[in-house]
Amino acid sequence: MSTVRRVAVVLVAVSALALTACGPSDDDAAGGADGPSASPTKAASPTKPATPSKPAKPVASPSKGSTGGGSSSDPDYDVFPCSTHDLKFTATLAEPTTSSYLLKITNKGTKACKALGHPSVTFGELDGQANQRGTAPAIEKAIRLEPGKSAYAGLMGGANDGKGKTVNSIAMTMDTESDVAQTPLKAATPKLYVSPKNSVTAWMDNAEDALSL
């Protein structure tokens, strides 16, 4: 073989070796175990929870006196019925022939109260009480007693027919529209003649009306 041919064969062999060394291996091309692994996908950041909205403002409280049928525009909505604890009581002879008496109550307290209906009048140690005479005004129209003010009722009797009894005192309690305990108020009524004809009017704002009903 000539010298020129030998040189050509050697160059071809060297070129083949160089290409083999530079080319990718089967493992590299196929992503084998020795190849670099793929980078993991970055995890998505968790979604922040929604910020709760501010609570609604509470509903405004009802104005004073809006319950129980009362109203702050009604001057009597917080005025309670008068009881014997609030009052002074007197009885004055108005008509000796019939043993009729003028009953008077006066508010001795520091707050107004209402004189409701008829007084309950009993006679000394006798059983029973005076009958109600006439019709009492409705509660909303009852007499309002400011401190120091008075109301009146007429205790009507009858002529002594010999069938009744005589007492020297009476006792009185108020209509309070409740079961509140009351201490009866007493007044002297010397030789008051008691019979089925005794009756008492509702409370009124003047003595004349109380005795003329």
93-128 per-position pLDDT tens digit: 999 888 899 999 999 999 999 999 999 999 999 999
Chain segment 121-169, per-residue pLDDT in tens = 999 999 999 999 999 999 889 999 999 999 999 999 888 888 899 999 9
Residue keyed to tokens 């979604």:
47
Q: Tell me, what's the pLDDT at 152?
A: 98
Extract the tokens encoding 179.
């079961």
Give CA–CA dist 88/109, Å, rounded.
10
62-85 pLDDT per residue, tens? 334 334 444 456 667 789 999 999
For the segment 160-184, the average pLDDT, to the nearest whole number, is 92
Residue 90 has a CB neighbour count (10 Å cut-off) of 14
Residue 9: other Cβ atoms inside 10 A: 10
pLDDT confidence of 194, banded at 50, 70, 90? very high
CA dist 151 and 106 (Å) reads: 7
